[in-house]
Amino acid sequence: MASRPKLSGIQKQVLTLYRGFLRTARLKDPEERLRIESVVSAEFRDNARNVDRRNFVYIEYLLRRGKRQLEQLKNPDITGLATLEVKK
């Protein structure tokens, strides 16, 4: 069996953030949980495709923004996520 390549520190942070969102979504209502999981996976997938892997400054910005959003979502008074679609 082939071994997996080692993950960099920033890759580990991204995965930890993603898992944090999924764990927090489990604490919300089932309907809102599906919406949160859908929004989070779409956002991470979109960033994986569109953000240059060498643009560490922008990736670190996204990580900080994600951590703030996760902390807000952990608040029991917050019921879900809202999205805003900006046309380019």
Q: Give the integer Cα–Cα distance in Å for 15 and 34.
A: 19
pLDDT for 19: 98
pLDDT band at 7 (very low <50, low <70, confident <90, very high): confident
pLDDT for 1: 57
Residue of 10, 25, 24, 3 lying closest to 63 (CA atoms): 10
- pLDDT 10s digits, 39-82: 999 999 999 999 999 999 999 999 999 999 999 999 988 887 77
Q: Give the integer Cα–Cα distance in Å for 72 and 75.
A: 5
Q: What is the model's pTM?
A: 0.85
pLDDT for 32: 92
**For residues 78 and 29, is the Cβ–Cβ distance under 8 A?**
no
